[in-house]
Amino acid sequence: MKALNKVEKRELQRQRLMDNKVYQTMTVLTKYMDRYFLDAIIGIIPGWGDVIALVCVLPFVYFSLYVIKSIPLTLAVINNALRDVLMGMIPFYVGDIIDFFHRANVQNMEMIQGFVDGDEIIIRKVNQRAWQSVIVLVILLLLIVLVIWLLISFGSFLYSLVASLF
């Protein structure tokens, strides 16, 4: 049997990934959620539309984390999904209008496909989004610590205020 060269190995790996059931599910979700605007339509349902859209991102997260095994790609997919949900939550149907134009599932699929194909431009974009996600997570953690500190300080102040009354 002839040894496979690098291009043939990459093509076999690419085909194996594309034959994966999760990949096929992502393709269907992308088609219905973004190309047929289902994401924007279900976004009209107050509260639930964005939750449903976020649940539809789970196959992308699973595929990038457990099948491709790439933490930067997973962070980029999560970053993109959360950005989509945040924009979709803008009130007075502005978020739903944005959902017609911001196609997060198409973008996630392009990042995953580019990552699988070894597209250098996509890989740079994925790494950039991954760093953005890390920075945002660090800022959020610092804000959480700050809020906890403020709550403890406020609680101590209230306790001393009540204790001084008695």
Write the pLDDT tens digit of every residue in 61-71: 999 999 999 99
Task: State pTM to two decimals.
Answer: 0.78
Q: What is the separation, in whole angstroms, between the first and last Cα of the chain?
A: 90
Produce one character per residue of 133-147: b if its CB has 16 or more CB atoms within 10 Å, e if not.
Answer: beeeeeeeeeeeeee
State residue 128's pLDDT score: 94
pLDDT tens digits for range 31-45: 999 989 898 888 888
- The Cα–Cα gap between 49 and 29 comes to 15
Band (pLDDT 50/70/90 cuts) for residue 60 is: very high
Q: Residue 99: left (phi > 0), alpha (psi -120 to 50), or beta?
A: alpha
pLDDT at 123: 93
Degrees, nearest 5: CA angle 107-137-152: 150
The two tokens of residue 32 are 């219905």
pLDDT band at 100 (very low <50, low <70, confident <90, very high): confident
Position 47 pLDDT exceeds 90: no
